[in-house]
Amino acid sequence: MKDFINKIVEKIQPKALENAIKNRIHKQEDYQVISKSDNLLLENFIKKCRLINTPMVLELGTKRSVAGRSTRHDEWIPHAAEYIGTDIEPGADVDIVADVHRLSDFTGTEKFDVIISCSTFEHFKYPHLAAHEVMKALRINGLLFIQTHQTYPVHAYPNDYFRFSKEALEGLFGSRMGFNVIATDYEFPAQIYSDRVTSLSHDPAFLNSRLYGEKVSTTPENYIYELDSYYNVKNID
């Protein structure tokens, strides 16, 4: 009898979930999406970087995963006084071997005018700790650019931990941490396909999520979580 019920539930649940998803209405304009001809977030970041006189630049996760193809972005800031690549493993394009969760131990605090992170935050085991260390390594008025994944296949270099919405990225870099998020967006619309729930392909998904921001004051020694108001529930004695 138990096996019979489980078979019925197994058949009903996917259909119920599929119908629920079909009934959701998503408006494309609710999601800020960019195209190759409308890349304002990155363009504004680069313009602001070029106003800094001979900046010190750090890029995270620069080890080449494909031979002959660099993942560094030196061309964005060609006037850098020094452009340093770092990764958790030694290899091509890596100047400093460092664990981002202890980044300031390797680089010191308030050392960089610009920090760039492309396709790395999904590989950090503790993203809040990584964000804290990145902010500590930035100088006041320093700029940060992050591109990570909102939807993407599992890929391990060496491990794959997270996916981020715009809100998730913004939540890592709160104003109480002395940081100002200037802009976030999504890029490269994608589709999720599953023969289990076929209607997923109609819902919004994007390969990348991105953040551009600025450090505006000294980073606190301890990370401060900014809870939304609906989490402020009084304890019941």
pLDDT for the residue numbered 24: 47
Backbone angles phi, psi at 6, to 5 degrees: -60, -40
Is residue 155 in a domain? yes
Amino acid 4: pLDDT = 43
- Examine residue 187 and state whether it is found in any structural domain, yes or no: yes
- The pTM (predicted TM-score) of the whole model is 0.82
- Using DSSP's 3-state secondary structure scheme, residue 28 falls into helix
The parent domain of residue 78 ranges over 30-220
The total number of structural domains that make up the chain: 1
At 86 the pLDDT is 97
In a domain, 236, yes or no: no
Residue 157: predicted pLDDT: 78
State residue 232's pLDDT score: 59
CATH number of 54's domain = 3.40.50.150
144's CB contacts (< 8 A; 6+ apart) are 114, 115, 116, 117, 134, 135, 138, 173, 179, 211, 212, 213, 214, 215
Low-confidence ranges of the chain (pLDDT < 50): 1-2, 4-13, 16-18, 20-28, 236-237
**With contact defined as beta carbons under 8 Å apart, do 224 and 177 qualify?**
yes
17 part of a folded domain: no
Answer whether residue 18 is part of any domain: no
In-domain check, residue 51:
yes
In 3D space, the residue among 146, 182, 166 whose CA is nearest the CA of residue 58 turns out to be 146
So what's the pLDDT on residue 36?
54
What's the distance, CA 96 to chain centroid? Answer: 21
